[in-house]
């Protein structure tokens, strides 16, 4: 009998995106059909109790292959990664996890003829020579961080497996992701998450980038939407595969603080730039996502105003429920 339901494995399931992607995938395919994996044990009930969870170091190809065989996996969302700021503190670890982990996924997909792989990239692939305004999808990629270097290599490696072995591999370049569910996790754009926590809890925040720093951002519901929209697209309609720009919104740190102050008038934001400022300065302020809009009908739903309202409401409720 032919199985019609996808069997999905997600790496990095405890991370910012993975932890919110898992519940949506389990709604789609059933709890038992989505296997969450991460190097650390899960903290949330959704990951711990509502479907299979396995501890997995993505650098361990043997164990990864065993789980894929055991659960009869045909689709992988490879979300495990060391992010930009952490990658600058531990560059060797970033290379090992981000490159060897991806190579393991791709080799297992080739050997076992998996149906579809999602391997996300990032705006970190861009560098100071990339156009800062409306950076196109095809442009100069000369990143200044180890994280960005691994993501450029990952895009090229994924495309190689598409062209050389005929695999179905897809990926978007995530901008900074803002989430009400997961704390900051070592990225340069994480100020845009932490600022909400501190605004609600203490009404003060010291920001690690300048007030005029503008970066591409995206609210988590749009991040999940972009991921699933691309995975649902007809492969034959895609001209690209592993490097789609996806734009949500762009704003400065000061603009975000001002938007928060509309709802929390006593909130005070100060600025004390650190080493992450140089990383932010190397990235574009806005990106051109025309190929994603044309090839798989990508459109975001949230802007700065609607994101801020939703973020404050959801995060306040979550933080208050813990107190």
Q: What is the pLDDT of residues 86-128, one digit of tens each?
A: 999 999 999 999 999 999 999 999 999 999 999 999 999 999 9
Q: Are 15 and 80 in contact (CB under 8 A)?
A: yes
Q: How confident is the model at residue 192 (pLDDT cuts 50, 70, 90)?
A: very high
pLDDT interval class at 183 (50, 70, 90):
confident
Per-residue pLDDT tens digits for 137-161? 999 999 999 999 999 999 999 999 9
Neighbours of 302 (CB within 10 A): 22
Percent of the chain with pLDDT over 90: 91
Active-site annotation holds for 174: no
Q: Mean pLDDT over residues 55-74, rounded?
A: 98
Of 323 and 107, more confident = 107
In angstroms, rounded to a whole number, what is the distance separating the alpha carbons of residues 254 and 138? 30
Stretch 209-233: mean pLDDT: 98
Confidence of residue 2 (pLDDT cuts 50, 70, 90): very low
- In whole angstroms, what is the distance from residue 73 CA to residue 9 CA? 6
pLDDT band at 236 (very low <50, low <70, confident <90, very high): very high
Q: What's this model's pTM, rounded to 2 decimal places?
A: 0.94
Q: What is the pLDDT of residue 159?
A: 98
In sequence order, the 6+-apart residues with CB closer than 8 A to the CB of 28 are 6
Indicate whether 204 pLDDT > 50. Answer: yes
Locate the domains of the chain by residue range: 8-176+219-245, 178-217+248-285+301-322
User: Architecture of 8-176+219-245 per CATH?
Assistant: 3-Layer(aba) Sandwich (3.40)
What is the structure's pLDDT at 47?
A: 83
Q: Which CATH superfamily is domain 178-217+248-285+301-322 in?
A: UDP-galactose 4-epimerase, domain 1 (3.90.25.10)
Q: Strand 116-118 relative to strand 169-170: parallel, antiparallel, unpaired?
A: parallel
Strand partners, 205: 269
pLDDT score, position 182: 83
**Of 29, 71, 77, 147, catalytic:** 147
d(Cα 283, Cα 294) in Å, to the nearest integer? 24
What is the predicted pLDDT for the residue at 281?
A: 95
């Amino acid at each position: 009998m032919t199985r019609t339901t996808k069997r999905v494995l997600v790496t990095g399931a405890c991370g910012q995106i993975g932890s919110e992607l898992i519940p949506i995938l389990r709604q789609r395919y059933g709890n038992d059909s989505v296997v969450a994996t991460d190097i650390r044990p899960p903290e949330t009930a959704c990951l711990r109790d509502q479907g299979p969870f396995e501890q997995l170091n993505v650098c361990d190809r043997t164990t990864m292959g065993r789980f894929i065989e055991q659960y009869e996996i045909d689709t992988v969302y490879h979300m495990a990664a060391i992010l930009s700021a952490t990658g600058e503190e531990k560059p060797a670890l970033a290379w090992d996890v981000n490159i060897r982990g991806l190579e393991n996924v791709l080799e297992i997909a080739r050997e076992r003829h998996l149906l579809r792989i999602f391997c996300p990239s990032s705006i970190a692939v861009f560098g100071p020579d990339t156009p800062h305004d409306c950076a196109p999808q095809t442009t100069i990629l000369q990143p200044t961080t180890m994280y960005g270097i691994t993501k450029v290599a990952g895009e090229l490696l994924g495309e190689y497996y598409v062209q050389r072995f005929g695999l179905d591999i897809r990926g978007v370049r995530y901008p900074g992701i803002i989430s009400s569910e997961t704390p900051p996790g070592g990225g340069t754009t994480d100020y845009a998450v932490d600022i909400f926590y501190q605004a609600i809890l203490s009404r003060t925040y010291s920001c690690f980038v300048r007030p005029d720093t503008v970066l591409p951002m995206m609210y988590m519901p749009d991040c999940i939407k972009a991921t699933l929209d691309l995975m649902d697209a007809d492969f034959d309609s895609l001209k690209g595969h592993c490097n789609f720009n996806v734009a949500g919104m762009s704003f400065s740190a000061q603009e975000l603080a001002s938007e928060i102050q509309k709802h929390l008038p006593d909130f005070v934001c100060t600025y004390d730039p650190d080493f992450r400022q140089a990383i932010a300065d190397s990235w574009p302020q806005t990106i051109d996502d025309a190929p994603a809009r044309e090839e798989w009908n990508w459109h975001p739903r949230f802007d700065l105003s609607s994101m801020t309202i939703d973020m404050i409401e959801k995060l306040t409720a979550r933080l208050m429920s813990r107190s």
